[in-house]
Structure 1
C-alpha cells in the first residue's frame, strides 16, 4: 500500500467518501456536510501543523482510503475512511498500517494513538484490534482503542 499526503486536489473524492451513506452511519458526526463546509475544513486541516492527512492508494489505481491524524498534547487521534468501492477487499488494515508508518516518519516521535469508534461499527473495531490497538473503554456508545507506538 502506497501513501502520500492529501492535497487540495483530493477534495472531490474525499467529499464523496465523507457523504457516503455508510460513512455517515458509522461516523461520530452522522450528518452530511456541504461542499463549502468540506472545502473549508480541508483547507484548514491542510494548514494545521497538528493534523496529518494521508491518502492510501495502489500503484496505477484509484485511491483506496484516507487516514487522518489529529495530534493533541498527550496523544494523537486517528480515523480512517475507505473509498466505498474498496470496502470488503482487505485494504483497510493495509491502509491503516501504511498510514501509521507514515505518521511515525512525519512526526519522528513516539506517541499514543487513540481511536474512537461507534459501538455498532464492528468492522472498525475489528480493523483497529487487528492492527494492534487495544480496547480501553466504552462511554456513551463510543468505544475507545489505543496503540502505543513506543511498543511497535
Structure 2
C-alpha cells in the first residue's frame, strides 16, 4: 500500500468519496458537502499543524483517504475507502500504512454502532473498544 500526503490535486477524488451516500450515512454530519465548502475545507486541512491527510493507493489505483486530527496526546482517525474499492480486504492495510506515517503515536476512532465494517477494521488493526462517547463506540490503540 502506497501512502502519501494529500494535495490540492486530490480535491475531486476526496469530494466524490465524501459525498458517497454510504459514506455520508456513517459520518456524524450526513449532509452532502458543496464543492466550494469542500475546497475551503481541504485548503485549511492541508495547512493545519494538528491535522494530517493521507491518500492511499495500490497498483490498481486510488484506494482511500485517512485523516488524523491531534486531540491532546492522541490522534483521532477517520478512514474513507473509495466506494469501488470497499469489500476487497484493503482497509486494514490502508489504516496501518497511514498510522506508520505518525510513528510512536496513539490513535482513537469513534464509530457509529451500526457501522460493523469500521468496528471490524479497527479491531483487526489492533484497536480496543474504550466505551461510548456521544453515542459512538470509541476504539483506541495506545503506544508507550
TM range (shorter): over 0.9
The structure with more helix, counted as a fraction of residues: 1
CA RMSD of aligned residues (A): 1.1
Q: What whole-Å deviation, never above 9, does each CA across 1:77-98 have from its counterpart, x for those lacking one?
A: 0000000000000111110010
The CA deviation at 1:73 is 1.8
Where does 1:76-87 land on structure 2 (aligned, <5 Å)? Answer: 76-87=75-86
What is the CA–CA distance in structure 1 between the aligned matches of 2:138 and 2:122, rounded to whole Å?
Answer: 10
Q: What whole-Å deviation, never above 9, does each CA across 1:41-60 have from its counterpart, x for those lacking one?
A: 0000000011110111013x
8 Å Cα contact 1:28-1:117 kept in structure 2: no
1:10 maps to which residue? 10
1:101 maps to which residue? 100
TM-score, normalised with respect to structure 2: 0.96
1:45 maps to which residue? 45
Q: What count of residue pairs does the alignment treat as equivalent?
A: 144
1:66 maps to which residue? 65
Which one of 104, 113, 116 corresponds to residue 119 of structure 1?
113
The CA deviation at 1:62 is 2.1
The CA deviation at 1:111 is 2.9
The CA deviation at 1:103 is 2.1
2:31 matches 1:31:
yes
The CA deviation at 1:35 is 0.4
The CA deviation at 1:12 is 0.1
TM-score, normalised with respect to structure 1: 0.91
